[in-house]
Structure 1
Amino acid sequence: MKLWRWILLLVMLAALAAFGWHWVAEDPGYLLVQMRGWQAETTVVAAVVILLLAWALLGAGWFLLRWPFGAFSRRHRRVSRQRLREGLIALMEGRHGDAERDLHRASRLDTLRGPALLAAAEAASRRGENGRALAALDEAGQVSPRAARVLRARVLRREGKSVEALNLLAPEAETGSLTPGGWRELALAALANGDMRRARQALEPLQKSGALGARGFAALEAQVLTASLSAAPDAAALNSQWSQLPKAQRRVPAAIDAYARRAAAFGMVLPAMDEVESALRREWSPLLIETYGALGGEDIEARLRRAESWLDAHPNDAALLLTLGRMCARLQLWGKATQYLERSLALTPMSAAWEALGDVYAGQHDAVLAQRCYRNALALARGEATEALPQGARSARLDTRPIAVEERSEHGVPRLPE
């Protein structure tokens, strides 16, 4: 399609040139120049051509005169760009000393001064040279003040000066003019400083910007909500904060876990159970299954029956089996607890499951097996190999194979296994 456009344009230019030449040929015009007895006669067309040629010759002469002087600046630009490239590669490779040196040299070129100094400050910060990083940011602030301010807050936060980082970003936060990186640093600095209100306020602009991506924002949101709810001083403050959260945030599993555990600590076990059960009805969550089993000893028998009913839909969920084992152990149902925990370990070995199994054997006054389970829990947490239990200690009729869950179509018809 582009080729046809060029052909059409060339045809139109040729037609205009033909008609224009015919028009000029009929009357090319007359030009007379007289000066101090000197006289020149020519046509208008020839005068225009002569002026254009003279302009081109003057431009070429000026370029030739400037070329030797511009060679130094061209080499300076080329070398600075090369150093910037090498410095950024060194920064990504972890050679922070080389990166800082190359980036400082690249900053001598005015057009690269801002990004080079910012990257040099990041390299110095990663080396632990926070003084050098702040000095580089002082210079970078003259060229790129907003980026330098965000990076300065990051350096201060890494150094443990969260109060200074928060005060640095607070004025722009009040006006809503912070960049996405600034809002993230504000949230992290506020968390480190215990200012949960500011940390929550940073979530909305971060979500609107989309700068962190869905996964990154979800992780930060869960961190902020968990810390905020866990810091509630009393039951009234906890309920007030929970009711003021947007609906979407009240459905974050980590936030529900934090609310339920904090509410149970204040003696509000029933509201905590209601939130967890409602969340599990909406969406299955291994985190909330663990929370459900840790909400105190009130009504534990009814909770156990309810949790056992979930096995029909989730027979291979190791977290659910771990929770059932813990609840049975609290009720001193040692046989059922052992079966649930052994099946959980067979599906997904977890340090918490070994610890719970050790509690079961300790409750039965079997110190030898309890100690072995506790050692396995420690070994698994360290990434070391575990030691199998004696064959006689295992449940004789335990089937550790995953149970196939029946799948149905959208019309309720069972699917045949593939």
Structure 2
Amino acid sequence: MTLWRWLLLLAVVAALAAFGWHWVAEDPGYVLVKLRGYTVESTVVAAVLAVIVIVALINALWRMARWPFGALSRRHRRSSRQRLTAGLLALMEGRNGDAERDLQRAARLDSLRGPALLAAAEAASRRGEQSRALETLDEAAQIAPQAARVLRARFLRREGRAAEALALLAPEADSGSLTPGGWREFALAAVATSDFRRARQALDPLQKNAVVGPRAYAALESQVLVGSLLAAPDAASLNSLWSQLPKTQRRVSTAVDAYARRAAGFGMMLPAMDEVESALRREWSSQLVGTYGSLSGDDEGRLRRVEGWLDAHPNDASLLLTLGRMCVRIKLWGKARKYLERALALEPSSAIWEALGDVYVGDGDNVQAQRCYRNALALARGEAAQLAPHELRGPLDTRPVAIEERSEHGVPRLRE
């Protein structure tokens, strides 16, 4: 397509040149110049060409005359660019003293002054020279005020003065003029000060501007949502916050988990169960399964539902622990022991040993219960368990349960 455009343009230029030549050939015009007894006669075309040539010659002579005087400035520019390059490389290599020296020298060139001073301030901060870093930022703020403000907020946050960093960026955040990097610093400072309302304010700009990668954004979003939900002072505030969150944020598994736990703390068991069940229907999460098991209420009815999940996730230790805890609450000691021993065979943990201890207490075997509790305490301390699962009731089948494979239509596949 570009080639055809060039060909069309050349054809148009050729046609205009042809018509122009014929128009000039019919009447080339006449120019007469008299100066101090000298007379010059010419056509208009020749006079225009002569003027163009004279201007070009004057320009060339002027450049030649200026060349010696510009040699020093060219050397200064070349040297400054080299120092900027060397300073940035030294900064990346951790040679912060060399970096600061080279970058300060590079800042003598006006066109490089802004970025060189910002990088020099970073080098000074890495050396622990905070006062010098802030002084350098004051100079950089005269050229690049927004970048200097963001970098100053970063320095304050690194020093543990997140509240000052948040106050520094808040005016621009409220007006919506904050730079992408500023939104990141604003969010981190808000999280550090537990100002989760401000942190939620930064999530949308961070996502739109792709300031961080998908994984880093997901981690930050999860941290902000969990902190916001757990900080809700009462049930009304929690429900109001949850209803105001966008649909995509209400589907984050960690946010659902935080909401369910906080709602359960306020006695709202049914809303907590509904949110967890909806989330598990969308996407399986061992964390949410554990949370679901910790919720109390109608354990007999929920037990059948959770046992149905076992068909699709037979090797999930969290699911087995949840089943064991629910069986303990309704005093199904034999079934609880089967689930918990299976969970220990797959993935031993302090919580599973503790739940198994509750089983033996309910079954009247205090000796075994004490052994289980000792194991739970040992694992919680990071020590080795003193009792193996098979020592409780004999050898256990520790082979993973085979997961049934199904097609996209739900039809079981035959194994080869």
TM-score by length of 1: 0.82
Note the 1:4-403 alignment, pairs <5 A. 6=6, 13=13, 17=17, 20-21=20-21, 23-295=23-295, 298-300=297-299, 302-327=301-326, 339-341=338-340, 343-344=342-343, 347=346, 349=347, 353-357=349-353, 360=356, 364-366=366-368, 371=374, 374-376=377-379, 378-379=381-382, 389=388, 392-393=391-392, 396-403=395-402
Give a deviation string over 1:320-372, Cα, whole Å, max 9, x none: 2343345556677676556545544555x47xx24532663596535667555
Aligned 8 A contact 1:369 1:389 in 2: no
2:314 aligned counterpart, secondary structure: coil
* Equivalent residue letter for 2:407: R
* Equivalent residue letter for 1:186: F
Distance 1:388 1:9 in 2: 87
* Equivalent residue letter for 1:284: W
2:41 aligned counterpart, secondary structure: strand
Q: Per the alignment, do residues 122 and 288 of structure 1 end up closer, same or farther by CA in structure 2, a change over 3 Å counting?
A: farther
Distance 1:335 1:91 in 2: 64
Give the C-alpha shift of residue 265 in structure 1.
2.3
Q: Per the alignment, do residues 223 and 37 of structure 1 end up closer, same or farther by CA in structure 2, a change over 3 Å counting?
A: same
Distance 2:345 2:98 in 1: 50
* Equivalent residue letter for 1:320: L
Which residue in the other structure is 1:405 paired with?
A: 404
Distance 2:335 2:298 in 1: 18
Give the C-alpha shift of residue 227 in structure 1.
0.9
Distance 1:96 1:402 in 2: 56
Give the C-alpha shift of residue 82 in structure 1.
3.1
Distance 2:322 2:12 in 1: 81
2:367 aligned counterpart, secondary structure: coil
With 234-243 and 153-162 compared, the bigger mean Cα shift is at 234-243
2:33 aligned counterpart, secondary structure: strand
Give a deviation string over 1:128-173, Cα, whole Å, max 9, x none: 4433332222122111212222222222122222221222122222
Aligned 8 A contact 1:31 1:42 in 2: yes
Distance 2:162 2:389 in 1: 53
Aligned length in residues: 409
* Equivalent residue letter for 2:193: N
Q: Provide structure 1 residue ranges, at least 5 long, that are not aligned to the other structure.
A: none
Give the C-alpha shift of residue 222 in structure 1.
1.7
Distance 2:198 2:165 in 1: 13
Q: Per the alignment, do residues 260 and 108 of structure 1 end up closer, same or farther by CA in structure 2, a change over 3 Å counting?
A: same
Aligned 8 A contact 1:250 1:256 in 2: yes
Distance 1:300 1:136 in 2: 64
Aligned 8 A contact 2:180 2:206 in 1: yes
Q: Per the alignment, do residues 208 and 19 of structure 1 end up closer, same or farther by CA in structure 2, a change over 3 Å counting?
A: closer
Q: Per the alignment, do residues 83 and 387 of structure 1 end up closer, same or farther by CA in structure 2, a change over 3 Å counting?
A: farther
Give the C-alpha shift of residue 288 in structure 1.
0.9
With 107-116 and 239-248 compared, the bigger mean Cα shift is at 239-248
Q: Per the alignment, do residues 337 and 120 of structure 1 end up closer, same or farther by CA in structure 2, a change over 3 Å counting?
A: farther
Give the C-alpha shift of residue 20 in structure 1.
4.4
Aligned 8 A contact 1:315 1:405 in 2: no
Give a deviation string over 1:380-414, Cα, whole Å, max 9, x none: 8xxxx98993864575242422422231333x433
Distance 1:69 1:323 in 2: 83
Give the C-alpha shift of residue 239 in structure 1.
2.9
RMSD of equivalent CA atoms: 3.5
Q: Per the alignment, do residues 7 and 290 of structure 1 end up closer, same or farther by CA in structure 2, a change over 3 Å counting?
A: same
Give the C-alpha shift of residue 112 in structure 1.
2.2
Aligned 8 A contact 2:190 2:196 in 1: yes
Q: Provide structure 2 residue ranges, at least 5 long, that are not aligned to the other structure.
A: none
* Equivalent residue letter for 2:411: V
Distance 1:130 1:302 in 2: 62
Q: Per the alignment, do residues 103 and 324 of structure 1 end up closer, same or farther by CA in structure 2, a change over 3 Å counting?
A: farther
Aligned 8 A contact 1:334 1:360 in 2: no
Q: Per the alignment, do residues 264 and 373 of structure 1 end up closer, same or farther by CA in structure 2, a change over 3 Å counting?
A: closer
With 67-76 and 54-63 compared, the bigger mean Cα shift is at 67-76
1:40 aligned counterpart, secondary structure: strand
* Equivalent residue letter for 2:413: R
Instruction: Tell me the percent identity.
Output: 65
Aligned 8 A contact 2:343 2:352 in 1: no
TM-score by length of 2: 0.82
Q: Per the alignment, do residues 413 and 82 of structure 1 end up closer, same or farther by CA in structure 2, a change over 3 Å counting?
A: same
